[in-house]
Structures are given as structure tokens and as C-alpha cells.
């Protein structure tokens, strides 16, 4: 093709289509995780079996989205943040329920929520501010922490710790519905609300007008669930859960020290602290 002066003009390069990050396969899996998590929260107060199944599927999909990201070369910062936010929010919501189910231990569950959120936020912020915007929070230098290096670099180790951590809390959730040892109220007979002329076996809706009332909650918990399997799962997963909390503490401490290193370097470049002039 030539212009008016007879000079050849190179053809314009065709504009490449813009990728829609939001419909990448791993992100679609992430949205499915969110939907399943919300559905599990809906069933959490009264339907332990349904809730546990939905919650468990949401957790297991956490491994599938990483596999999809690697297989289809669709690893993105949005997907990484979506994955982390989903993990933190779903675990926090389950721990909130456990705090209400076991009020005597609520401060422990509140502490676990705070540790989980603080540890991952500090680690993510330190990685972005000190390692650069292109640095992944899963790429940890062994010189900073060999524990975090081993935890994040091996997908099998990461999946095992995360899965068994969630399994322990799910087991506790099931025990709140089935174990009189942890929930003594299950041994207490509910007061009768039958009136003369009422049916011998009234529907729950006749006893408790609100399905979210305390009485309806107790009735749902006294549904003859067997506590054997939840106890076994809780005992097996407890050591790994404890190890996960230790890793959270290490992550929080290391991230804090890394940020402090950056602060000292910035203050040194700014000439701080300024020496006071001699009087």
C-alpha cells in the first residue's frame, strides 16, 4: 500500500482482542467456591450435614483452581487474591459459628480469626511492598524462613495443612450438633410447649414460629447425629491444625520483621533520626 508520495506504508497491525480475566477457568472455579460457601452458611444453623457437604466441596475446589491456573496458563493476581479472600472469609464465618456454639471458648475462636487475618494480610502486604508488585506471596526466600518456604513451595504440603485445618473446624461444627460432652444442652429435654387439644406430634413450625430461634436450634441439634466420626476426624486433624496456627504465627512475625527492615532503610535514606545540634 502506498501513500500520496508513492512511499509504501506498512499495514496497521490488527488490534489484539483484550483478554477477559474474569472468565478465566480458575476464576470461574473461584466464583463457584463463593456460591457454595454462601450456600453452606445458609444451611449452617440448622442443617449440619448439608452445610458440611457444601463447605467441604468449596474447600476441595481450592486445589482445582490452582491446577486449572497452571494447566491453562491462567495464573492471575486477581485469581490469587480471590482465592485468599475466599479462604479467609469462609474460615472466619465458620469460626464465628463455633464461637456462638461454644461460648465458653469464644475467645479462642476469636483469636484464631484475628491470627488468620492478621498473618495473611501482613504477609501479603510485606510481599507487595518489599518484594515488588510482581512478587507472589507464595514465593518465599529460604533465608527468611525455611518453614514458610517449605509450606508454600510444595503444593502437597500446602493442601494437606489447609485441608486438615478446615477438617478440624468442620468436625467441631458437627460435634456441636452431636456431642453432649461439648454441648451439654443436648442432654437437657426441651420444655414442652404442647397445649390442650394440640396434636400429639406437632410440626416444628408449630413449636417454634421462627426457624432461627434458640428452641429451633436446639431441636436441630438433637437430631440423633452420631458423634463417633466427628470425634475421629477432630483427633486426627488436630495436630495439623495446631501446626497451621504455628505457621500463621511464624508468618506474622517474619512479615513484621521484613516490613521493619524496609522502614529502617527508608529512614536511613531520609537521614533519620536527625541528630540534635549541640547546645
User: What does each C-alpha distance from 12 to 1, 16, 18 come to in angstroms?
Assistant: 11, 12, 17
What pairs with residue 8 in β-bridges? 2
Q: How many CA atoms lie within 13 A of 220 on its CB side?
A: 22
The answer to whether residues 168 and 237 touch, using CB atoms and an 8 Å cutoff, is yes
Instruction: Give me the helix-helix angle, 48-71 and 155-178, nearest 10°.
Output: 170
**By C-alpha distance, which of 253, 52, 86 is closest to 162?**
86
Rounded CA gap, 165 and 55, in Å? 13
Q: Which of 87, 116, 141, 263 is catalytic?
A: 87
List 2's β-bridge partners, or say none.
8
Q: 159 is written with which cell numbers?
A: 493442601
Residues 122 and 259 sit within 8 Å (Cβ to Cβ): yes
**Residue 197 per-residue DSSP state:** T
Query: Known catalytic residue: 116?
Result: no
Show which residues are catalytic.
Answer: 87
Amino acid at each position: 500500500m502506498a501513500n500520496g508520495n508513492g512511499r509504501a506504508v506498512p499495514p496497521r497491525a490488527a488490534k489484539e482482542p483484550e483478554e477477559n480475566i474474569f472468565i478465566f477457568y480458575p476464576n470461574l472455579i473461584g466464583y463457584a467456591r463463593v456460591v457454595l460457601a454462601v450456600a453452606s452458611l445458609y444451611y449452617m444453623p440448622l442443617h449440619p450435614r448439608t452445610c458440611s457437604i457444601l463447605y467441604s466441596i468449596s474447600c476441595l475446589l481450592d486445589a482445582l483452581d490452582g491446577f486449572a491456573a497452571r494447566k491453562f496458563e491462567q495464573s492471575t493476581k486477581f485469581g490469587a487474591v480471590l482465592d485468599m479472600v475466599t479462604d479467609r472469609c469462609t474460615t472466619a464465618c465458620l469460626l464465628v459459628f463455633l464461637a456462638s456454639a461454644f461460648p465458653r471458648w469464644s475467645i479462642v475462636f476469636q483469636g484464631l480469626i484475628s491470627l488468620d487475618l492478621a498473618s495473611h494480610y501482613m504477609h501479603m502486604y510485606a510481599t507487595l511492598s518489599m518484594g515488588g508488585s510482581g512478587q507472589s506471596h507464595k514465593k518465599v526466600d529460604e533465608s527468611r524462613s525455611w518453614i514458610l518456604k517449605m509450606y508454600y513451595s510444595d503444593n502437597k504440603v500446602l493442601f494437606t495443612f489447609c485441608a486438615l485445618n478446615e477438617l478440624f473446624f468442620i468436625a467441631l461444627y458437627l460435634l456441636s450438633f452431636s456431642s453432649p460432652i461439648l454441648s451439654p444442652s443436648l442432654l437437657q429435654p426441651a420444655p414442652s410447649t404442647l397445649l390442650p387439644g394440640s396434636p400429639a406430634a406437632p410440626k416444628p413450625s408449630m413449636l417454634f414460629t421462627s426457624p432461627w430461634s434458640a428452641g429451633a436450634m436446639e431441636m436441630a441439634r438433637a437430631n440423633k447425629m452420631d458423634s463417633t466420626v466427628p470425634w475421629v476426624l477432630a483427633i486426627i486433624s488436630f495436630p495439623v491444625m495446631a501446626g497451621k496456627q504455628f505457621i500463621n504465627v511464624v508468618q506474622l512475625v517474619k512479615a513484621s520483621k521484613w516490613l521493619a527492615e524496609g522502614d529502617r532503610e527508608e529512614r536511613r535514606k531520609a537521614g533519620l533520626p536527625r541528630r540534635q545540634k549541640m547546645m
